Amino acid sequence: MAQDLSGYGFGTRAVHGGTEPEPVTGAIMTPVFQTSTYVQPRPAEAKLHEYSRTGNPTRDALEAAVATLEGAPHGLAFASGMAAIDAVLRLLSAGDHVVAGDDLYGGTYRLFTKVLQRCGLSFSFVDTSNLAAVEAALRPETRLLWVETPTNPLLKISDLSALAAIARRAGALFAVDNTFATPALQQPLSLGADLVVHSTTKYVGGHSDVVGGAVVTRDPELRERLAFIQNAAGAVPGPWDCFLTLRGLKTLHLRMERHCDNAEAVAAFLAEHPKVTRVHYPGLPSHPGHEVARRQMRRCGGMVSFELEGGIQPGYDLCLRTRIFRLAESLGGVESLVEQPATMTHASVEPEVRRAAGLADGLVRLSVGVEDREDLLADLEQALDAV
Ligand SMILES: *Cc1c(COP(=O)(O)O)cnc(C)c1O
């Protein structure tokens, strides 16, 4: 049984959350319980678990640790961020309506429109930084408000406390995908969210070596329903993936400080560069969400996007010229990455939908890693010189 860490600071909770010395050997790190089943003392009686889809001690430790980070009692781990999101949507039934952001992670938009819509759910996509637009999209059958903040890739900021109040009045659940901010910078449950979802593939795991997802809640009834879905549908992570994620998240607080330091420097550098027409970073006072970000986030995170003039080509060329910023999808790892949303992560979003949401063809997205700041700035400078 893990100790109660609720009175401790974030770093202490990150290091110790969910992990107790292993009782037989005293191992300080939770072992990889690489087993599918467990020997039972008697029929219909289990020591702890019966079968690893339903429960596994390495997964238990990860689930408790992620919950601890978000300051909540209940966490559930999934095979990927998408599996976690899918599990939350399975709380709904055919005929239910969802209000969701119009600048979502591309895979989330694809799941909603290409899979779940077919199963009888309906979706309205609105700019959730505009509270009036959210109110206007509500229907009597709205059961879920789904929000990312900061968004991907435009880093738009939505007011979580205000949205929580809107969802509560509408009788809808309020779920926040907290992948970009991480609990080190923003804790949606304390601002009124019912559910927090993570792609732990990103900052929580942090080392680009494992795919995973998590859902966290304070509500025991939601936890029960989600655990039922987790076991019934079976999109669980294996013990080795749980171990890697657990190891990664112990340094989340250290990594996030460095990600933020570097991203602030990169955003300031890009804002001054003559070839850059626009920088999206909530930490810049010019960002439309700056004030709300200051209220609800401790710092503004490691993601920066910016626009180059001339459509797809200049960004395409830039992606080929950076040396430290590696050209890859994904984000949140220790390595700096660069990508072009229009041709890569958001290629599955129809061009008209993309442009209507303000996602320019010339947009370049950076996941600013934890390398030395001078090297990152020099790398961007030489790449920008060449485009
Ligand atoms: C990556 C990502 C997801 C999906 O997570 P996977 O682990 O890739 O399945 C969902 N939301 C956001 C914001 C993401 O960045």
CATH number, residue 377 = 3.90.1150.10
Could you tell me if residue 5 is inside a domain?
A: no
For the chain, residues with pLDDT lower than 70 are 1-2
For position 159, what pLDDT does the model report? Answer: 98
53 is an active site residue? yes
Q: What are phi and psi of 258, to 5 degrees?
A: -70, -40
Could you tell me if residue 321 is inside a domain?
A: yes
- CA Rg value for the chain: 21
CB 281 within 8 A of CB 304: yes
Distance 38 CA to ligand 1 centre (A): 32
Indicate whether 191 and 87 sit together in one domain. Answer: yes
Q: Is 96 exposed, middle or buried (0-12, 13-18, 19+ CB in 10 A)?
A: middle
Indicate whether 73 and 17 sit together in one domain. Answer: yes
Could you tell me if residue 3 is inside a domain?
A: no
For position 1, what pLDDT does the model report? Answer: 45
For position 367, what pLDDT does the model report? Answer: 98
Distance 148 CA to ligand 1 centre (A): 11
For position 2, what pLDDT does the model report? Answer: 62
Distance 41 CA to ligand 1 centre (A): 41
Domain termination site, one of 194, 225, 249? 249
What are the pocket residues of ligand 1 if the criterion is a CB atom closer than 6 Å to any ligand atom? Answer: 80-82, 105, 107-108, 148, 152, 177, 179-180, 199, 201-202, 211, 213
For position 345, what pLDDT does the model report? Answer: 81
Q: What interhelical angle do 81-89 and 220-233 show, nearest 10?
A: 110
Count the domains in the chain.
2
* 285-291, Cβ contacts within 8 angstroms, sequence gap of 24 or more: 287/155, 287/157, 288/129, 288/156, 288/157, 289/129, 289/149, 289/150, 289/155, 289/156, 289/157, 289/158, 290/157
- Spatial separation of the C-alpha atoms in residues 165 and 187, rounded to whole Å: 16
Indicate whether 237 and 260 sit together in one domain. Answer: no
CB 182 within 8 A of CB 201: no
Domain termination site, one of 249, 275, 298? 249
For position 80, what pLDDT does the model report? Answer: 98
Catalytic residue among 60, 102, 127, 177: 177
In percent, the amount of the chain with pLDDT more than 90 equals 91
Indicate whether 52 and 166 sit together in one domain. Answer: yes
pLDDT in tens, 126-174: 999 999 999 999 999 999 999 999 998 899 999 999 999 999 999 999 9
Indicate whether 243 and 256 sit together in one domain. Answer: no
DSSP 381: H
> What is the residue range of 230's domain?
10-249
